[in-house]
């Protein structure tokens, strides 16, 4: 993954209309993919296509499950 494809938590929060704390929490819980960057690996970056796919996944799984049970 190239650094050019990754965005900061500020940019990801702005694009998604979410709080930064929500993004951090979702990353820690492995609900969305994130990448540690920097010499001490303390910075966090996000790949927006991967985050968007992860955010869509639960809804798609839920709709599929509902369709199967009907």
pLDDT of 5-54, one tens digit each? 899 999 999 999 999 999 999 998 888 999 999 888 888 999 999 999 99
| Predicted pLDDT at 13 | 96
Distance (Å, rounded) from C-alpha 1 to C-alpha 14? 22
Q: 64 or 10, which is more confident?
A: 10
- Beta carbons within 10 angstroms of residue 14's beta carbon: 12
b or e along 32-45 (b: 16 or more beta carbons within 10 Å of the residue's beta carbon)? bebbeeeeeeeebb
| Predicted pLDDT at 44 | 94
What is the pTM assigned to this prediction? 0.72
């Amino acid at each position: 993954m190239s650094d050019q494809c990754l965005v900061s938590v500020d940019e990801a929060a702005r694009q998604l209309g979410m709080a930064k704390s929500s993004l951090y929490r979702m990353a820690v819980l492995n609900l969305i993919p994130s990448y540690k960057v920097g010499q001490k690996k303390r910075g966090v970056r996000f790949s927006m296509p991967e985050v968007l796919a992860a955010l869509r996944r639960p809804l798609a799984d839920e709709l599929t499950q509902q369709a199967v049970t009907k």
